[in-house]
């Protein structure tokens, strides 16, 4: 594809700021993932499976790809990958595209909490994050056409192993990049220190805030879960009580049923949080870790090609995505809460209606102004 060549050319040669970039590669760079009509590659990660060998135990995930792209021999692929394979892919992408923002992978180990390495919760969280990782790549105008990405999605296990062992191709590309960087620095290329400073300042604050948000979101989840646990016990007491009563047995059972329904509703609310907000915020915590620019010149040159339009474009794209993701994640939280309160409201209102129907025309209805 012509645009693929253009982009890689653009990257290799764009250390001089005045290099024109072909229009078609521009289109690719500014394409956003919220335009499903343009998507021609769909990836899912699911079905974690445990494998036990003599040496180790590990989990593989099923990666399903559906595509209409010409360069794929088939339109559907199903392979199994383990975490190591994802790590490999990430490092290949970082090597090939040093100026682009590569999406983060979920952590290797979980330090905090008492989540066991292979607990269901851990595996599910990781699976969701791996799914996100591949989708970020698939939706990226440049990364989506990366050759290693294609191999990752399509190769059988033995094919991938042998491909991984290939070295030379990478080194030569790596060498080219390093040489280009060195020449740009030596050549006194006009860097854009203001842009770098701006990005760094932004990321410092962003990183700080997103980490706090991460903690808050987890804390809210924890509190909601504790509330749910107590609520589970609350309803049944009313049912128990109704067994010793006659006249008020129905009212008590009614209250018990309302509480149980609200309990279920709060469980849904919790699930919504863990499916949406928590993973998104956590992904951005990881993003902020890789985007935090260190003061070492070496890292600086690797990641922040100040003169590089590609990075600037990618940076803008990242910010756009972040805005979109945050907006939709928090809107989703609001929706979850609205749904929760509306469900509870309906439950209690119907209980109230049932009580005041057979209420013997008491004071409250007469005293109402």
What residues line the site for other proteins (CB under 8 A)?
Answer: 201-202, 205-206, 209, 212-213, 216, 219-220, 223-224, 226-227, 229-231, 233-234, 237-238, 240-241, 244-245, 247-248, 251-252, 254-255, 258, 262, 323, 326-327, 330-331, 333-335, 337-338, 340-342, 344-345, 348-349, 351-352, 355-356, 359, 362
* Minimum distance from residue 274 beta carbon to other proteins (Å): 15
* Minimum distance from residue 27 beta carbon to other proteins (Å): 23
Helix, strand or coil for residue 58?
strand
Give backbone dihedrals phi and psi of 109, rounded to 5 degrees, phi first.
Answer: -120, 160
- Which is nearer to other proteins, 179 or 268 (by Cβ)? 268
* Minimum distance from residue 210 beta carbon to other proteins (Å): 8
* Minimum distance from residue 269 beta carbon to other proteins (Å): 10
- Which is nearer to other proteins, 12 or 352 (by Cβ)? 352
* Nearest-angstrom CA–CA distance, 113 and 218: 11
* Minimum distance from residue 260 beta carbon to other proteins (Å): 13
Full DSSP string of 95-123:
HH-TTS-PPPPPPSS--STT--TT-HHHH
- Which is nearer to other proteins, 277 or 307 (by Cβ)? 277
* Nearest-angstrom CA–CA distance, 352 and 97: 63
| Interacting residues of 38 by C-beta distance below 8 A, sequence separation 6+ | 31
Contact 81, 64 (CB under 8 A): no
Helix (H) or strand (E) holding 93: helix 83-96
* Minimum distance from residue 368 beta carbon to other proteins (Å): 13
* Nearest-angstrom CA–CA distance, 118 and 124: 10
- Which is nearer to other proteins, 165 or 360 (by Cβ)? 360
Give backbone dihedrals phi and psi of 81, rounded to 5 degrees, phi first.
Answer: -135, 150
What's the burial of 302, exposed, middle or buried (CB within 10 Å: 0-12/13-18/19+)?
middle
- Which is nearer to other proteins, 40 or 325 (by Cβ)? 325
- Which is nearer to other proteins, 118 or 202 (by Cβ)? 202
């Amino acid at each position: 594809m012509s645009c693929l060549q253009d982009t890689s050319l653009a990257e290799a040669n764009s250390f001089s700021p005045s290099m024109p970039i072909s229009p078609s590669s521009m289109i690719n760079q500014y394409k956003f993932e919220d335009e499903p009509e343009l998507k021609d590659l769909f990836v899912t990660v699911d079905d974690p499976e445990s494998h036990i060998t003599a040496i180790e135990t590990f989990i593989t995930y099923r990666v399903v790809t559906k595509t209409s792209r010409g360069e794929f021999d088939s339109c559907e692929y199903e392979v199994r990958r383990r975490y190591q394979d994802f790590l490999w892919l990430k490092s290949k992408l970082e090597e090939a595209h040093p100026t682009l923002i590569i999406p983060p992978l979920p952590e290797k180990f979980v330090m905090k909490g008492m989540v066991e390495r292979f607990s269901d919760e851990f595996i599910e969280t990781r699976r969701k994050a791996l799914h996100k990782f591949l989708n970020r790549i698939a939706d990226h105008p440049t990364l989506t056409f990366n050759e290693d990405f294609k191999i990752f999605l399509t190769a059988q296990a033995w094919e991938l192993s042998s491909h991984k062992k290939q070295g030379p191709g990478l080194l030569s590309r790596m060498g080219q990049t390093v040489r280009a960087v060195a020449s740009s620095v030596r050549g006194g290329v006009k860097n854009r220190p203001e842009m770098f400073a701006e990005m760094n300042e932004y990321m410092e604050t962003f990183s700080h805030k997103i980490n706090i948000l991460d903690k808050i979101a987890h804390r809210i989840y924890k509190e909601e879960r504790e509330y749910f646990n107590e609520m589970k016990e609350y309803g049944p007491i009313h049912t128990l009580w109704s067994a010793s009563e006659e006249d008020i047995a129905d009212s008590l059972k009614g209250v018990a049923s309302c509480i149980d329904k609200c309990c279920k509703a709060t469980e849904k609310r919790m699930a919504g949080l863990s499916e949406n907000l928590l993973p998104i915020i956590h992904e951005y915590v990881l993003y902020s870790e890789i985007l935090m620019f260190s003061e070492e010149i070496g890292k600086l040159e690797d990641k922040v090609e100040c003169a590089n339009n590609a990075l600037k474009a990618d940076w803008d794209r990242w910010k756009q995505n972040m805005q979109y993701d945050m907006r939709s994640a928090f809107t989703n939280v609001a929706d979850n809460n609205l749904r929760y309160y509306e469900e509870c409201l309906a439950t209690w209102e119907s209980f109230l209606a049932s009580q005041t129907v057979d209420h013997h025309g008491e004071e409250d209805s007469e005293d109402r102004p």
